[in-house]
């Protein structure tokens, strides 16, 4: 009893001291508070969090996302405050990071890889005041939407170059994992080449990895040994263009400009630029208009481009690529226009029919002209 009383007394004394101290301080702080009030006329910056699957120095996928984050900072200045967490593995562990970012007061969160889909969705359903942007996925919620880029447009354009530049009429693709996106790119590449050179065929080597310079190189060498003289890759390192450089063949950069890795072999690079989309998303979050959508951006929105065209390309080829690029941008040219037939000659898209996004998402087959079978 006495014990409890004295403890209470002690607490009261401490509290009194604290109040007294705070009272003393408050006069000095008054000025500061005034200054703060002046600042507070401007609203607090929008806090934006980014979650990356790799390190920002990977020279590929994550590097491109981080460049877009910097572009957002430059565009919106002190209206936004961005932060990022790098090298977050896909899967359940990412949930902790998503929750951390929410806890730190971020109101807009970008998750930049497919494997965050489930965890982001879970957190999104619990924290309604925060908006989530998920790359390359297909699930969404009231406060979560998806974004992706139409990489096949770049693949088609470099295909046009490949069709013009090949002498053996054999093209090669070093491919990663047989998912619709990659199959779509192989098909677009082949269609692009066939549009200028009906004799071309494409051979694919699957390495079952997104990133393994050694395997990418060996896949490229195997293709060149079989006579392929222009290569495209749907993998992440620069090993393919380097291998082509050594063997005196041609190749294209992928995701970022790879021209300096292969001065002789490099014909052009198909790149992704996330900045236009990130600016749009942030602008909508700041100024209103943000709603659940599935954004799939391409050349038209500036998310995809073909850059660093080699001096080896004849002027007419450059002009043709430019014309197709403009055509895709203004809608006068369509890549997926029927008739498109698969390897067995089965009509997958009827004559003059234009493919919808749904159709493109379901591509699990090769167009005629690609050799070999799709891996099971």
Partner 1 sequence: MNEINNLALLSTLIAATLSAGTPLLLAGLGLLVNERAGVVNLGAEGMMLLAAVAGFALALATGSDVLALAGGALAGALAALLFGVFAIYLNTNQYATGLALSLLGGGLSAFVGIDYVSRNLPRLPLTGIPWLSDLPWFGPALFRQHWAVYLALLLALLIGVFLQRSRAGLALRAVGESPESAHALGLPVRRVRLAAVCFGGACCGLAGAYLSVIYTPMWVEGMVAGRGWIALALTPFATWRASRVVIGAYLFGGVTLLQFHLQSIGVEISSALLSMLPYLATILVLALISRNPVWIQRNMPASLGRPFTPGQ
- What angle (nearest 5°) sits at the alpha carbon of residue 306, between those of residues 330 and 164? 95
Binding segment for partner 1 among 13-21, 128-136, 225-233, 361-369 (CB under 8 A)?
225-233
Closest CA relative to residue 108, chosen from 279, 335, 337: 279
> How many other CB atoms are there within 10 angstroms of residue 27's CB atom?
8
Q: Segment contacting partner 1 (CB under 8 A): 21-29, 96-104, 220-228, 292-300?
A: 220-228
Best CA proximity match to 192, nearest among 184, 349, 265, 299? 184
Cα 2 to Cα 245: distance, rounded to the nearest angstrom: 88
90 binds partner 1 (CB under 8 A): no
For the bound state, the minimum distance from the C-beta of residue 34 to partner 1, rounded and expressed in Å, comes to 44
Any contact of residue 59 with partner 1 (CB under 8 A)?
yes
Q: Which stretch binds partner 1 (CB under 8 A): 40-48, 88-96, 216-224, 347-355?
A: 216-224
- Work out whether 209 is an interface residue with partner 1 (CB under 8 A): yes
144-149/294-297 β-pairing: parallel
Contact between 205 and partner 1 per CB under 8 A = yes
Shortest Å distance, C-beta 40 to partner 1: 39
Q: Which is nearer to partner 1, 148 or 236 (CB)?
A: 236
Which tokens belong to 345?
A: 């000659």
Alpha-carbon torsion, ordered 210, 215, 220, 224, to 10 deg: -150
> What is the end-to-end Cα distance of the chain in Å, rounded?
77
Cα separation, 29 vs 22, whole angstroms: 10
Longest dimension (CA), the chain: 99
Residue from 119, 151, 237, 273 touching partner 1 (CB under 8 A): that is 237
Which range in 49-57, 95-103, 267-275, 300-308 contacts partner 1 by CB under 8 A? 49-57
Interface with partner 1 includes 204 (CB under 8 A)? yes
Closer residue to partner 1 (CB): 228 or 328: 228
Give the footprint of partner 1 on this chain (CB under 8 A): 54-55, 57-59, 172, 203-209, 211-219, 221-223, 225-226, 228, 237-239, 242, 246, 260-261, 371-373, 375-376
């Amino acid at each position: 009893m006495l014990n409890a009383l004295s403890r209470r007394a002690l607490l009261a004394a401490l509290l009194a001291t604290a109040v007294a101290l705070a009272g003393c301080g408050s006069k000095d702080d008054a000025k500061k508070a005034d200054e703060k009030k002046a600042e507070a006329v401007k609203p607090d910056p929008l806090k934006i969090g980014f979650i990356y699957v790799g390190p920002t120095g990977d020279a590929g996928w994550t590097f491109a996302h981080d460049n877009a984050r910097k572009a957002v900072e430059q565009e919106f200045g002190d209206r936004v405050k961005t932060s990022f967490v790098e090298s977050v593995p896909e899967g359940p562990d990412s949930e902790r990071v998503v929750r951390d970012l929410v806890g730190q007061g971020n109101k807009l969160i970008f998750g930049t890889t497919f494997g965050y889909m489930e965890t982001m969705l879970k957190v999104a359903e619990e924290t309604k005041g925060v908006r989530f942007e998920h790359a390359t996925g297909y699930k969404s919620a009231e406060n979560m939407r998806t974004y992706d880029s139409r990489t096949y447009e770049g693949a088609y354009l470099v295909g046009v170059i490949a069709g013009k530049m090949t002498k053996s009429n054999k093209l090669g693709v070093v491919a990663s994992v047989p998912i619709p996106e990659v199959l779509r790119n192989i098909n677009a590449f082949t269609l692009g080449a066939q549009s200028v050179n009906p004799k071309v065929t494409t051979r694919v080597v699957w390495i079952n990895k997104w990133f393994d310079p050694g395997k990418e190189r060996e896949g490229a060498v195997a293709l060149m040994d079989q006579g392929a003289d222009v290569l495209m890759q749907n993998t992440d390192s620069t090993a393919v263009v380097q291998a082509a450089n050594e063997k005196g063949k041609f190749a294209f950069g992928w995701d970022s400009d790879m021209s300096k890795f292969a001065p002789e072999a490099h014909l052009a690079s198909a790149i992704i630029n996330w900045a236009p989309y990130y600016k749009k998303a942030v602008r909508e979050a700041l100024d209103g208009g943000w709603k659940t959508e599935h954004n799939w951006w391409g050349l038209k929105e500036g998310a995809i481009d073909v850059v660093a065209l080699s001096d080896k390309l004849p002027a007419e080829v450059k002009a043709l690529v430019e014309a197709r690029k403009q055509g895709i941008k203004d809608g006068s040219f369509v890549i997926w226009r029927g008739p498109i037939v698969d390897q067995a000659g089965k009509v997958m898209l009827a004559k003059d029919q234009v493919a919808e996004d749904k159709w493109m998402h379901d591509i699990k087959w090769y167009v005629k002209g690609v050799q070999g079978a799709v891996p099971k």
